[in-house]
Chains A and B, each alone.
Chain A
Amino acid sequence: MSAHSQTYFKDRLYYALLAAGTLVALAGLYAVYMMEHHGHIVTGMNNQIVWGLPHVFAIFMIVASSGVLNVASIGSVFGKSDYKARAPLAGLLSIALLAGGLTVLMLDLGRPDRIIVAATNYNITSMFAWNVLLYSGMFAFVAVYLWTMMEQRMNPWSKTAGLVVFAWRFILTTGTGLIFAFLVARQAYGSALLPPLFIVASFAWGMAVFLAVQAAMHAWNGRVLDPAILHRMKNLLGVFVIGTLYLVAAYHLTNLYFAHQSGFERFILVEGGAYPKLFWWGYGVLGSILPLLLIYLPRQGKPIHAVAASLLVILGGFAFLYVFIIGGQAYPLNIFPGFEASSSFGDGKVASYCPSRYEYLLGFGGLSVAFIITLVSVRVLRFMPQDKPHVAD
């Protein structure tokens, strides 16, 4: 193919991708219209499973948006030059994922038209209210950070901005973990392990998103990533996957040790039908073990292996959150310890949940918002990592 026809083809492909992304976003908006017009009755959510599939998408994107900045922090804060070259792309992905996640979270509200109330009436004891500040602060700080990196005159400030973002994203992911950690009465939540678990998971999910996007950008530009850099980055992904596994194991083991939690653990790990399957196969095997094999087994150093491992980690992240958020609510709340309970409101009964098509549309709509922001930005601005030959730090 000549250079001219290749450019023409890429132009066409770019607009086709943009159109596809916009279509999915519009489908998401249609879902929002339906939920607004008819109420949440059109979703699979109900008074027992109050947070559903949209929250799985939203929390994945928000957590990954914090974790993807790890790449930038390793460059700006810890001075690793390979990562420094990738910091702008990491910043962009962070903003894109955060925008996508928040879009889903806000449009799933019962009254999204009242979102301004969240800014005008502020409850200082609410973790949600704190997160409103943390998320808007994240946008602002990452935007300034990008500015200091991409505007040469501002370069001297990029380390300071990087440090602020580094601290902020730790607090932000802690805040996301605390949303659940503060739910004292629910068996699945109310654990101080959740904020650190969310932080380490954010490293893994963010790195996986980064590696997948980076591979796509290299393929698009017909460039080959330095194998030494790829080797380091995929190995780091492996470390994060192991770290997440460790904290997930600690969370379940501590629960298993508490007699009053054993029923919940039996449900989520063994008897809960789809939830244990998703946990073991989705998160455990596909989302953790297989990526680790792809990363660490000998002769697995090709870019395709890293991309496959990354996509599997992302898939595992969704599986984990589905089990954590929806499985955690499906298990009956223990309101009367020592008694078997039954009622017309699902007491003592496992709650059932089947996400509706509008929830999928809303979730994928949020993903497409992140996709469109990334696609347009990498085309109009210089986000492609500019590598010098790799030198070990």
Chain B
Amino acid sequence: MTKGCKIHGIDSQRRSFLKTSLGAATVMIAPGIMLFDTAHGQTQPASSKVRWGMLIDTAQCKPGCNDCVTACNRENGLSGGTKPTDSQWIRKVELKDKGKGRELSLPMMCQHCSHPPCVDVCPTNASFKRADGIVLVDKHRCIGCRYCMMACPYKARSLVHEPLHDQNPDVPRGKGTVEACTFCVHRVDNGQQPACAEACPNKAILFGDLNDLESEIARKIRSVASAQVRADLGLDTGIRYQGL
């Protein structure tokens, strides 16, 4: 009897220890797993069957309207400053035809080229192109040499010149590294539109899959005249302009 009680006592201690340990382990690990899932979102890689692109209708883009720029700044946590040292991922360019005097206005940003010079020149592979055509900078790999800024024909890239505060957790940035329009990749991966396309009051920016023949953008590109900026360079840009 005495022996049985002793055994019984030891067992219950061991059981409660195991229960407590298991409970503590669950409490400690579970939030980590949930956070990991939240942080990673979709786990499947970008597909090369998709080629994200934009068609910008310059006839619908109003001079003086800056809504796309404001939306980009808000979405990506940019200051919105326009000093030469401030980052500008998208800018409105006002154009005047030298011969005919025709005026037009359009948004300019990373053109997400098929053959991006920034990716070619980057010494550390920090500049890279995703399988779906989005050109990005790996902020952990960028050493801030700015060779990509020299190579970009569209002046689409900026160096972060100052320490950053209050960053958007979805859009990590870093002082001393180079950055540019990401096509709002964090939104696109969640099935949303880039912030600029969504914000345009005149629907001048059409975003979609250039490879999907049934997509609105692919159908429109087949039916209207569109142009690539500096098409002579043969970079096969993901952004096309209508009326340029």
**Contact residues of A with B, CB < 8 Å?**
36, 38-41, 46-48, 50-51, 109-112, 114-115, 117-118, 121-123, 125-129, 132, 179, 182-186, 329, 333, 335-347, 351-352
Closest approach, in angstroms, between the C-beta of A206 and any C-beta of chain B? Answer: 25
Main secondary structure of the interface of B (DSSP, over half): loop
Complexed CA–CA distance, A137 and B152 (Å):
29
User: Are B96 and A51 within 8 A (Cβ)?
Assistant: no
Pair A128/B121 contact, Cβ less than 8 Å: yes
A341 touches B120 (CB 8 A): no
Q: Give the residues from 144 to 185 in chain B that come closer than 8 angstroms, CB to CB, to chain A.
A: 144-147, 149-155, 157-163, 174-178
Whether B91 is near chain A, meaning CB under 8 Å from some CB there, is: yes
| Segment touching A, from B13-21, B22-30, B80-88, B200-208 | B80-88
CA–CA, A184 to B230, complex, Å? Answer: 11
> Is the pair B176, A111 in contact by a Cβ cutoff of 8 Å?
yes
New contact pairs (5) apart from A47-B149, A345-B82, CB-CB < 8 Å: A46-B161, A111-B143, A111-B144, A185-B233, A345-B88
**Inside 8 A of B98's CB, which chain A residues have their CB?**
338-340
B94 in the interface (beta carbon within 8 A): yes
Inter-subunit contact B93/A342 (CB<8 Å): yes
Given contacts A39-B161, A110-B159, contact A335 B154 (CB under 8 A): yes
With A117-B143, A121-B141 already in contact, the answer to whether A46 and B85 are too (CB < 8 A) is yes
The answer, among B147, B158, B176, for a CB contact under 8 Å with A47, is: B158
Using Cβ atoms and an 8 Å threshold, which residues of chain B touch A109? 143-145, 176
**A51: chain B residues within 8 A (beta carbon):** 146, 150
A342 touches B143 (CB 8 A): no
Q: Give me 9 A-to-B residue pairs in the complex whose CB atoms sit less than 8 angstroms apart, sorted by A's number.
A: A109-B176, A111-B144, A121-B124, A121-B125, A128-B145, A183-B150, A184-B153, A341-B93, A347-B91
Asked whether B99 is an interface residue with its Cβ less than 8 Å from the other chain, the reply is yes
Minimum CB–CB distance from B43 to chain A (whole Å) comes to 24
Contacts of B77 in A (CB 8 A): none
What class of interface size applies to chain B in its complex with A? 35 or more
Q: Identify the B interface with A (CB < 8 A).
A: 82-88, 91-99, 108, 117, 120-126, 141-147, 149-155, 157-163, 174-178, 229-230, 233, 244
CB < 8 Å: which of A40, A182, A342, A345 contacts B151? Answer: A182
Q: Is the CB of B84 within 8 A of A47?
A: yes
Chain A contacts of B177 at CB under 8 A? 110-111
B152:A185 contact, CB within 8 angstroms: yes
Distance of A132 Cα from B125 Cα, bound (Å): 14
Complex CA distance for A235 and B230, rounded to whole angstroms: 47
Contacting A185 at CB < 8 Å: which of B141, B144, B147, B151? B151
Given contacts A39-B175, A335-B108, A341-B93, contact A126 B146 (CB under 8 A): no
Chain B nearest CB, measured from A118 CB (Å): 6
Most A CB contacts (10 A, CB to CB) among B92, B93, B99 go to: B93
Residues from chain A with a CB closer than 8 A to the CB of B143 are 109-112, 114-115, 117-118
Complex Cα gap A182–B117 (Å): 9
CA A355 to CA B83, docked complex, whole Å: 16
Given contacts A46-B85, A110-B176, contact A182 B97 (CB under 8 A): no
> In the complex, what residues of A have CB within 8 A of residue B126's CB?
117, 121
In the assembled complex, the Cα of A129 lies from the Cα of B122 at a distance in Å of 8
Question: Across the two chains, which residue of chain A brings its CB closest to B86?
Answer: A47
Q: Which 8 A-B pairs have the closest CB atoms?
A: A110-B144, A110-B176, A185-B153, A46-B84, A128-B123, A129-B123, A344-B82, A339-B95
